[in-house]
Amino acid sequence: MAKSKFLVPLLDVLLGKYFGEEITVLDSSTYTVPLPVTKVSRYELKVKIFKRVSRQEEKLDLFIKLFEPDVKIHIRLDLLTRFKKEVDTYNLTIPALTEFQRLNGFPEDQLYSNMFAKCIGARVSVEDDKSIPDKTAVIILENLKSLGYASENIVYGGFDLEAARLLVHNLAQFHAVPLAMRIMHLDVFQEKVVPSMAEFKKHTKNPEYYKIIDSIIKQGIEGDNELEPHLDAIFNAIEFSKANTWFTKYYTDETWITLSHSDYSILNLMLIKDDKGHALSSKIVDLQVFEYLHCTSDLLYFLFTSVEQEVLKKNYEALVKIYFERFLEVLTQCQVYTGEYTLKNFYQELTSEAPKVLINILQALPFVTCEKWPEDGEPVLTPKYKRKVRDTLLFMIRKGWIE
């Protein structure tokens, strides 16, 4: 990491709100963290503070996310909206869902807030009356790396079975708690959760972009004897999925619709493991693209982008059941009537939703299989990518999701 001269404006004010007393910043250092997948730079902040009331010095190891406008375009509504959504998620949504669980008797180790890095402070501006992010917008989080969390190395091809079990279990809670709040306390849900799901025009998801995706997918399947008989069905399914992704979704049945991460994958999950490599705990990162979607969208996306292929082939049913059982358990504890939430119905929902999320899965595969990044930040297609595309399509064909 390279040392940076960047300073957070009014850092003492943000820290003071978090600690509940006046703070003096004695010393601070920031370090640039390059993130090629998102093409932005974020920062690690090491700061020494003095608490004026308790008269204590303390050293903090923090992670900073900034609002960085596109310098080539004056206004990028997608960037503005994404950052505002993430601020709202930390300031409104996560605390509200955590309190909802407390009221329903969940133990502290199962609370919603535990799934994310602790937020030290988040704002769109130093000016209180502003609602649009400006150059002073910042999100300050605990530094997960300093706590022992690490991203999974994509060289290994995805999460092993133990990690996958943990992550689908946590994903079920991520979905079930807001769904339960919507059913039991719609007014609170609309006030506290809906702001984190505000829609925006996806800047890169346009017809020209999908032409590039078509080319990438063709590179992934060309010359494959087992896939060639299904090419027409594959590209018909891709066109159907594009249309579902490009146009706004309006649901007439909200039974399975909830707060969704939209990019719950190996790129946005961090784990703590023990000395033997067993997954102990996980954290979800990058909360900018939350949406109001079918819960199976995140589940399918995770399974096909982020789980080792052999693990998925052998344990698909088991992982789906782990998700469903935790989903049902959370709804029950939140006193939601669960008559419609049966495993049979859930499998039917998976069959219905899988063709709709196909394009999202396929366009993510170049990123989750890329091990080295060129300067332009675009993923390099590897043999691993071709195998992943092939295995994903064959799995869906055998399931009857592509026909």
Burial grade of 38 (CB within 10 A; 0-12, 13-18, 19 or more): middle
Q: What is the pLDDT of residues 16-66, one digit of tens each?
A: 999 999 999 998 888 887 665 444 457 899 999 999 999 999 999 999 998
Query: 137 lies in a domain?
Result: no
* 50 and 151 share one domain: no
Q: Are residues 58 and 167 in the same domain?
A: no
Whether 92 maps to a domain, the answer reads no
Closest CA to 25 of 40, 9, 39, 11: 11
Q: Are residues 41 and 151 in the same domain?
A: no
- Which string of b and e fits 388-403 if b means at least 16 CB within 10 Å? bbbebbbbbbeeebbe
Spell 335-349 as b/e; 16+ CB within 10 A means b: ebeeeebeeeebeeb
- Amino acid letter, 105: G
The radius of gyration of the chain from alpha carbons, rounded to an integer in Å, stands at 22
Lowest-pLDDT range of 37-46, 129-138, 246-255, 332-341: 37-46
Tokens 């990438």 -> residue: 216
Last residue of a domain, one of 44, 66, 88: 66
Model confidence at 69, in pLDDT bands (50, 70, 90)? Answer: low
Answer whether residue 97 is part of any domain.
no
- Type of residue at 236: N
Instruction: Compare 272 and 81 and report the one with higher pLDDT.
Output: 272
Cβ atoms of 67 and 84 within 8 Å: the answer is no
Residue 376 belongs to a domain: yes
Per the structure, the complete domain to which residue 8 belongs is given by 1-66
Alpha-helix runs per DSSP H in 257-342? 295-306, 309-333
377 and 269 share one domain: yes
Q: Which amino acid is located at 282 in the chain?
A: S
Per-residue pLDDT tens digits for 340-382 = 999 999 999 999 999 999 999 998 988 888 776 666 556 777 7
- Mean pLDDT computed over 143-168: 91
Q: How far apart are CA 129 and CA 285, in angstroms?
A: 28
End-of-domain residue from the set 12, 45, 66: 66
Q: What share of the chain is helix, strand, coil (3-state, %, to 5)?
A: 50, 20, 30
Average pLDDT over residues 186-210: 74
Is residue 57 situated within a structural domain?
yes
Measured between alpha carbons, how far is 266 from 285 in angstroms, rounded to an integer?
Answer: 10
Domain boundary among 66, 82, 113: 66
Q: Report pLDDT digits (tens) over 309-350.
A: 999 999 999 999 999 999 999 999 999 999 999 999 999 999
Q: Where are the beta strands (DSSP E) in 84-129?
A: 119-123
The number of distinct structural domains making up the chain is 2
Burial of 211 (0-12, 13-18, 19+ CB in 10 A): exposed
More confident of the two residues 41 and 121: 121
